[in-house]
Every structure is written in C-alpha cells, then in structure tokens.
Structure 1
Amino acid sequence: MSAQQTPEQEPQYRWVIVIASAVMLAVSMGMMVNGTSVFLIPLNEAFGWDRGAVSLINFYGLLGLAFGGIVMGRIADRASVRHITLFGATVLGLCILAASRANQLWQFYILFFLGGFFGAASLFTPLITNVGVWFKRGVGVAIGIASAGQALGQGLVPYGLAILIGLMGWRDALTTMGGVMLLVLIPLALLIRRPAAHEQPKSLAGDPIPDQPTVPLSPTLVTIWMSAAVLFCCFCMSVPLMHLVPLIQDRGFSLEEAGSVVFIMLLVAIVGRIAFGRLADMVGAVRAYWIASCWQTVLILFFLQMETLNGFYIFAMIYGFGYAGVMTTLLVCVRVMVPVSRRASSLGFVMMFAYLGHAIGGYQGGFFFDWTGNYSLSYTNAALAGVVNLIIVGALYITINRRRLTQPLTATVAS
C-alpha cells in the first residue's frame, strides 16, 4: 500500500495552528527584528545618541533572540509548546512596556536583550517547529503562510509605530506596542498545542508516515552548514530592514512616508513567502533557498540609486517579493533535512546564527553611516555577505547531489 496520504487525512486544527502562529510571529517579530528602525532618528533627536549607538538596541535584542533560540529550541523538543509560548508572550510584552520608560541606552540594551532571549526566542522556534509537526504534505506552503505573518509584522509594526510616534511621541508608541503584545499574544498562545496521538497523520494503510530527513547528510552537518550560510544571508538582509527607513528620511521624506515604503515592501513579502514555500515543495528546499538568496543579493545595492518616493515604492515591491523567500525556504530546509526528534534544537541553533548575522549587519549599517556620512559602504558590505552565502549554499547543493550518486534516496530535497 502506498505511503502517500490525502490532505483530508490530516487534522483540520492544523490551520488554526498556522493562523495563530502567523499572527503571533507578526506581532512579536515585527517589533524585534526591525521595529526599532523607526526609533533611530526620534531617539537621536530626544537624547543626541548617534545611529550606531541606537542600532545597538536592535543588536542586543537580536543577540538575545539568537542565544535564547538555542535554549528554547532544546526545551521545545521536550516541553509543552503552549507553556513556552505563554511564557514568551508575557515576557516580551512586559519588556517593551518597561522600555517605554527607559532613559539610558544601557536600559534599552538590557530590556531588548531580555525580551529577545526569554520572549521572542520562546515564540519563533517553538511556533515554526510546531507548524512543521502538524503537516506532512505541503509543509512548504504551511511554513510559508506562518512566516508570511512575520513578513506582515515586519512591515505593519514599523509603519504603525511611525504613525504612533507622530501622534503621541516615541514613549507612548512603545507603551501602546507593549499593551498590544500582551492583549494579542497571550490569548493566541492558549490555542497552540501539538497534535494528539490520534491526530497524527497516517498513510492510507493506517500506518504512521515516516518523518526522516531526505538528504544523505548527518543532522549535525546540516545544522552547521545552514548556520554558516544564514549568518551571511541575514547580514545581507538586515541592512535594508534596519536602515531603509532612515535612508529614505535622508532623501527628505517624512518618517511616515519612509515607514510606508517598508510596509509596502513587506506586504508584498507576504505573497513572496507563500510563493517560495510552494517553490520549495516543487523544486526542493535548498534550490529554492539559493534562488531567494540570489534575488536579495543582486538587488540590494539598487536601494542606493533611488531618489523619489515612487521609485522606492516600486523597487521595494520588486525586492520584497524575492527577499521574502529566504526565511521560508530556510525553515523548510531545516524541516526536511533534520529528523523530528532534533528539529527544534537544530532550528534554534541555525536561527542563533541567523539573528547574529542580523544583529551584526544592522549594527554595521549604523556604524559605517556614522563613519562615512552615507550608506554606500553599509549596503556594499551587505551585498558581499550575500555573495558568501550563495557560495556556501551552492557548495551544500553540490555535496548533496554528489552523495546521492552513491547513496540514492527515493525522496529528494535538493533536486
């Protein structure tokens, strides 16, 4: 009897998991990944801190998220995913509320580090891993939808905060964001759970479907290889996410106008994440990841050529569609190349390097702006990091296919 299954054999509650996870990632990661980008100039005007120093707020938040991901990933392999996400939702909301009262840079650094380590890290890895557990067929699309929530948040949160800053100032904007986090994330966390034993997808013969990696590489080697790639990939990605808003403001446009460009870019990214999830299902996760990485690397320097607001809008949509596929395809790579027993801990390790790259790339963007007075070197460094990522992923793809010549497998991921 065939081991294939129909979508009807999978539990319907899996879509509740996907939507709840998408919304939680939108609110939490929208704030932690690039929400601070709209505070670079307001905090500079309020306290006189330069952009490099303010960029370190995002750096420490992502540093906490990076290292917290390892800890929470290991816990998520063993503990209740609902308890972990409830804990993370509460901590993150309280940290943002506390940050609204901060007056010193070190206070921002500590609060965002704690919010990343105990808050956001308790949400991202457990939520994404849990989505993968609920799906056997179409996992790329499922993860694409969940990660599309993050893309929505990374556009909507900075844009909404930009409007709030204009209406009520940066402190009240942060206070509002912290309250929204608590009101939205905690109820949604109560919906999160793992599938019960009777809900585990079965084959048509009624047997459990094997959930084994589909590449001839050890899980440890896969984790190390993807970690090296994503370090440079997220270095590249972070520069426009953190510094596109101030770049547009430097062209003479308002904070709200600049925030709207990022919002449009990440609105298109929602479609891109789902589309690349589907592409990963069709052509393989590693190949789809390389295509998305190539898209963002080739196009990133064109941001420096934009002078008009309409130019930014149009190019942001083009860039946003392809760059968005990076995160979806990365998550699918881990899903299909690592066994379920190690998936959360492996994803936590990979995401540690992802957010380290994000933190370093975002900080160097501000550092080199302060040093040179413009963003040319910052964006050039990002493009060079993207090239290194492409080389590493290309080597992984070649290695997988060479090993298949001697260890043929019936299931494929890279081709």
Structure 2
Amino acid sequence: MPQITDQAHQDREPAYRWVIAFTAAAMLAVVMGQLVNGLSVFFIPLERAFGWARGDIAFINTVGLIGLAVGGIVMGRIADRAEIRKVCLFSVAVTSLCVFAAAWAEALWQFYLLFFLAGAFGGGALFAPLIALVGNWFHKGGGLAIGIAAAGQGVGQGGVPFGTAFLIEALGWRGAFMAQGLITLALLLPLALLMRAPPQRGAHATGGREDAPPLPLSTVIPTMSLAVLMCCTCMAVPLMHLVPLIQGYGISATEASSVLFAMMIAAIVGRVAFGQLADMIGAIPAYMTASLWQTVLVFVFTQITDLDMLYVFAPIYGFGYAGVMTGVLTTTRALTPATRRAGATGIILAFGWLGHGLGGYQGGLFYDLTGGYDVSFANAALAGVLNLVVVGSLYLALRRRAALPA
C-alpha cells in the first residue's frame, strides 16, 4: 500500500511542473510588463504635467532596469538557497507598494527612487529565480517550458501598456499608478503561494554530481552578459519608443498602444515557438535566428507612418524579436549547472536589463537631440549586429570544444 501511495505521488509531481510554468508566466506578465516598458504610456502625461524632457522621463525606466540588474544578481544568489515562495511574496509586496506610491511622486528623483526599488527588490526577486525554477522542474522539453514562462513577460509588455492607456484616460496618470499597485497585489499574492521547488531527482536525490557544463562558467557568464547587453539594447528601443513614435504621426495614445499590443501578442507565440525551436535545433542556433530577425527589421519602424501598415508589420517583427529573450534563457539553461543556475541567470540578465535601460535612454536622448527617432533606431540595429558577433563566437567555441577528443 505505501508503494502505491509513493508511486501516485511521483506521478502527480511531474504534472505540477506545468502549474509552475504557467504561474511563472502570469507573475512575469504583471511585474515585468510594468517594469520593462509599462512606463511608455506615461511619457506624454508626465511630459505635459511637469514639462520634463523625454530623455529624463525615459531615465525613470532606465533607473528601474538598473535596479532590476542589481537585484537580479543579489536575489538570484539568494534564490539558489532560499525558499522560492518567500522570494516571490517579497517581490509582490515591494512591486505593488512602489507602483502605488508613484501616484504621489512630484519630482524626478522620487520616480527614480521608486522604480529603482521596484526593479531591485520586485522584478529582481522574480525574473531570474522564476526562470531558473521553471528550468529546474523540466528535465526534458525545457525550451518549450521556458518559452511559455517568457511568453508571460510578452503578454505583460503588450497588455500592461495597453490596459494602462485606458486607466490613464479614465483616472489620470496618478490614478493609473494607484490602480496598478492594487491590481498587482490582488493578482500576484495568491499566485506566489503556488510556487515551490521541484522534487529532488537524479544527482541531487542520489548524492551524485551533475554533469560538467560544456564550457567553464568563467567563459559562459561574461560572453552571454555581453551578448545580452547588446541584444536588449536593440529590443528596448521599439519597446519604449514605439508608442511615442506613432503618436508623433498624430495617432492617439490608445491606437498607438494597440500597435504595441499587437506586436506583443505575436511575441507570445514567438517566445513559445522559439522555445520549441531550441529543443529541436539547439539553444544557440535558435537564439541566433531570432537575433538576426530582430536586427534586420528594427529600423523599418521609422519608415512606416501608416497605421494599417504598422498593424501588419509590428506582429511580424514581434514574432521574431520575442525569440531573442527565449534564446537567452534557453542558452543560459543549457550552459549552466542547476545548482548555480539562478545566480548565473541573475548575472547574465543583469546585463540584459542594463541593455534595456541603455536602449531606452539613448532612444529618448537622441530624440531630444535630433527631433526624431532615426538615429535611435539605427543605434538599435548596430547593437543587434554586435550581439550576433558575440553569440556567433560562443557558438564556434562550443563547436571547437565538441570536436576535441574526450
């Protein structure tokens, strides 16, 4: 009888990995949708309310992403040792409180402080730990699972700005921040309680050792950090500046936000598809394919002024661009041991958030300097080329390593 009970428990445990994957996706949608590019619909309201330059407003997002980078390193290491449920609850509390408090901000430094804290202890306590958790629950088909979790971020990056645009119209920008804080707490508190570590299996359960990673971490972490810095600098420009770019054509905020939303809906499919592609052809080839897609198409946004054409092009771009983040995550999983995965992911993603901050800030800065977005989007394409060079060198190093005799 005990044997039947034990076997039933083992049969139930693997099924729970899908609860982890989809719950992680939902939590990342809410938190990362606010921190990565949710500020994009606040550009014009804050510009009108305070008269601040667009570069200064974009720097609010940059400071938040710097916080996300720093917090990801610290919280990733903590998550390798701490109970994941407590880490998630801490993230939910900090994020909701900081966003709610932004409704009373009157000065730039107050926005900078609140978004830094939300990034460091909100998003930083969530993204790397959850992605590592999902990867650790899946021993086969991890690319698809990580793609699903990453797709949650894509949902948030499209859905949060889209929904916030209506909140701003109905409640004003201060009311929108208050509503976001309350919604975050109400949605994520019960989801955080579902999180738990996977059952120990294999090397952990038997006291054995993990297989050695294909390259030393001293090579993997710096190389992937440089690659993700460049790829996220590229992707941040349309994420942060597509809405104000379209508004500059005389199109309303809700219509401009709906273009971004259409792009991110396609990105949901793209993140899952490139996760599956990583399981089929390998993590790095899938990453390079998505990077090439993003790099070739990003500048085209500045050449389209027709709303209908933007609705057509944005999803095409979004499907391929979305695979970049999935590629980063699946490649990191493939090249790092499970016992150090959250910490390594936190370090690598720290440079991703710095890239997001750099891309968003330079987009606003060069807009202020030139009165347009051509230079900003050209810089994005250049960063994409550099990312391809770095990832290509990593792929060649792995090929050479595989060719060596054991």
TM-score by length of 2: 0.95
Q: Distance in 1 between matches of 2:194 and 2:13?
A: 18
Deviation at 1:196, TM superposition (A): 2.9
1:14-35 CA-partner distances (Å, limit 9, x unpaired): 1111111000000000000000
The equivalent residue for 1:152 is: 155
The equivalent residue for 1:212 is: 211
RMSD across aligned C-alpha pairs, in angstroms?
1.8
Say if 1:208 and 1:295 are closer, same or farther in 2 by CA, change over 3 A. farther
Equivalent residues in 2 for 1:160-179 (5 A)?
A: 160-179=163-182
Match of 1:399 among 397, 400, 406: 397
The equivalent residue for 1:359 is: 357
Q: Distance in 2 between matches of 1:109 and 1:146?
A: 28
The equivalent residue for 1:63 is: 66
The equivalent residue for 2:367 is: 369
Q: Which amino acid counterpart does residue 236 of structure 2 have in structure 1?
A: S
Equivalent residues in 2 for 1:212-231 (5 A)?
A: 212=211, 215=214, 217-231=215-229
Deviation at 1:263, TM superposition (A): 0.5
Equivalent residues in 2 for 1:186-335 (5 A)?
A: 186-197=189-200, 200=201, 211-212=210-211, 215=214, 217-335=215-333
The equivalent residue for 2:3 is: none
Q: Which amino acid counterpart does residue 311 of structure 2 have in structure 1?
A: Y
The equivalent residue for 1:132 is: 135
1:127-169 CA-partner distances (Å, limit 9, x unpaired): 1111011100100000000110000000000000011111121
Q: Which amino acid counterpart does residue 380 of structure 2 have in structure 1?
A: A
Q: Distance in 2 between matches of 1:246 and 1:213?
A: 47
Deviation at 1:186, TM superposition (A): 1.3
The equivalent residue for 1:386 is: 384
Say if 1:407 and 1:312 are closer, same or farther in 2 by CA, change over 3 A. farther
Say if 1:395 and 1:153 are closer, same or farther in 2 by CA, change over 3 A. same
Match of 2:96 among 93, 96, 101: 93
1:23 matched to 2:26: yes
The equivalent residue for 2:7 is: none
Q: Which amino acid counterpart does residue 20 of structure 2 have in structure 1?
A: I
Verify the 8 A CA contact 2:367 2:376 in the aligned structure 1: yes
The equivalent residue for 2:121 is: 118
Verify the 8 A CA contact 1:9 1:201 in the aligned structure 2: no
Structure 1 runs not aligned, ≥5 long: 1-6, 409-415
- Secondary structure in 1 matching 2:124: helix
- Secondary structure in 1 matching 2:14: coil
Verify the 8 A CA contact 2:29 2:153 in the aligned structure 1: yes
Structure 2 runs not aligned, ≥5 long: 1-9
Q: Distance in 1 between matches of 2:235 and 2:29?
A: 18
Deviation at 1:266, TM superposition (A): 0.4
The equivalent residue for 1:42 is: 45
Q: Distance in 2 between matches of 1:211 and 1:407?
A: 21
Q: Which amino acid counterpart does residue 379 of structure 2 have in structure 1?
A: N
Q: Which amino acid counterpart does residue 327 of structure 2 have in structure 1?
A: T
Q: Distance in 2 between matches of 1:9 and 1:220?
A: 38
- Secondary structure in 1 matching 2:37: helix
Q: Which amino acid counterpart does residue 211 of structure 2 have in structure 1?
A: Q
The equivalent residue for 1:3 is: none
Q: Distance in 1 between matches of 2:11 and 2:317?
A: 36
Q: Distance in 1 between matches of 2:93 and 2:26?
A: 16
Q: Distance in 2 between matches of 1:355 and 1:96?
A: 19
Percent of residue pairs bearing the same amino acid type? 55
TM-score by length of 1: 0.93
Match of 2:344 among 343, 346, 364: 346
Verify the 8 A CA contact 1:38 1:161 in the aligned structure 2: yes
Deviation at 1:220, TM superposition (A): 2.1
More helix by share: 2
Deviation at 1:341, TM superposition (A): 1.4
Deviation at 1:212, TM superposition (A): 3.2
